[in-house]
Amino acid sequence: MADTLSVSVILPTHNRPRLLAEAVGSVLAQQRQPEQLIVVDDSSTGEPARVLEGLGRPCTAGVTVIRGPGRGPGAARNAGLRAAQCDLVAFLDDDDLWHPRKLELQLPAFERAPSLGVLGTTAAGGPGLPQTGSAQAGASRGGRLRAVALGSLVRANRLVMSSVVARRACLEGCGGFDESLALAQDWDLWLRAARNWQVAALTVPLVCYRRHSGQRSADAAAMRWWEGEVLRRALARGLPGRRLEGIARRRLAWSHLRLGRLLSGVGEAELAREQFREATALCRWSPLAWLGLVRCGLAARAPARARP
């Protein structure tokens, strides 16, 4: 099948020169090179342009470094989206890596399905790209295309940010990333895209998702809160059908429950109680939420320790 669709890569970065060099290197190693690579410098103290110059590797892509607004990853990705000139947009975070065949394997799906708006892949966690026999065999076969229905997306964010290739028309039609969300902006965008476009994933690990302490998503309590905000906004926009609304309400209750348990674990009984109450209001018959409320009540009644 002829490769007629062009692709821009958007790579936001903030103060990670070593990881940026490795991430860009994984773009330059693509067997199917992108037409455009946009590095969004989101208020780094260093100079990403110097990192790129130091790579010294040939690339058919037009490499552009632009200044981000300094308002977080959502705003940085939107800045990259405004600079994108190609039919498709691929995202890569500066602390992740791509398999050399990633774009080669994803792009044909868009040629075959004009209604496909967003396509991810599975991912492997660790310091580098998966080298197991099963991962390499999966990449050689290209994986299986699996549809991701709106109901499945409501239950959880099924797509790793750095795995996604999307039609630029789809992203622009959805209004891009919601910059008022500090976390989970990607999940919010996929939920909005799934209303009018097909969302799918290749069942092969083509991304290395590297976990480290500097990640914004490493703050579990903040992630639970912003996940809840994404679901609240989805419910406010309206979901097609009572079944999807019920799924969203139960998933929102689960976010409140998880946040309540985190807060309870660090001794914030009153804040935890608020979260458990929200969970029971959304899902009346949640035994875990009621148990959390009981434990918070017992903690409040426990006699204070005698001071020395």
Position 134 scores a pLDDT of 46
Task: Specify the number of domains making up the chain.
Answer: 2
The residues of the chain scoring below 70 in pLDDT are 1-2, 46-61, 126-142, 212-218, 300-308
Which of 216, 239, 266 is the last residue in one of the domains? Answer: 216
Q: Looking at the domain assignment, is residue 191 inside a domain?
A: yes
Position 307 scores a pLDDT of 43
- Same domain for 235 and 86: no
Position 283 scores a pLDDT of 86
- Same domain for 225 and 194: no
Position 80 scores a pLDDT of 96
The neighbour count for residue 196, using CB atoms within 10 Å, is: 11
Position 188 scores a pLDDT of 98
Alpha-carbon gap, residue 14 to 170, rounded angstroms:
27
Position 292 scores a pLDDT of 79
Alpha-carbon gap, residue 40 to 36, rounded angstroms:
13
Q: Looking at the domain assignment, is residue 13 inside a domain?
A: yes
pTM metric for this prediction: 0.87
**Domain holding 91: CATH number?**
3.90.550.10
- Same domain for 226 and 148: no
| pLDDT tens column, 59-104 | 555 788 888 888 888 999 999 999 999 999 999 999 999 999 999 9
Which of 158, 187, 216 is the last residue in one of the domains? Answer: 216
**What would the 3-class secondary structure string for the chain be?**
CCCCCCEEEEEEECCCHHHHHHHHHHHHCCCCCCCEEEEEECCCCCCHHHHHHHHCCCCCCEEEEEECCCCCHHHHHHHHHHHCCCCEEEECCCCEEECCCHHHHHHHHHHHCCCEEEEEEEEEECCCCCCCHHHHHHHHHCCCEEECCHHHHHHCCCCCHHHCEEEHHHHHHCCCCCCCCCCCHHHHHHHHHCCCCEEEEEEEEEEEECCCCCCHHHCHHHHHHHHHHHHHHHHHHCCCCHHHHHHHHHHHHHHHHHHHHHHHHCCCHHHHHHHHHHHHHHCCCCHHHHHHHHHHHHHHHCCCCCCC
Q: Looking at the domain assignment, is residue 96 inside a domain?
A: yes
Buried b (16+ CB within 10 A) or exposed e, 29-67: bbebbbbbbbbbbbebeeebeebbeeeeeebebebebbe
- Same domain for 275 and 156: no
- Same domain for 247 and 291: yes
Position 38 scores a pLDDT of 95
> Helices 242-265 and 220-237 sit at what angle, rounded to 10 degrees?
160
Give residue 57's domain range.
Answer: 7-216
Q: 119 and 203 in contact (C-beta within 8 Å)?
A: no
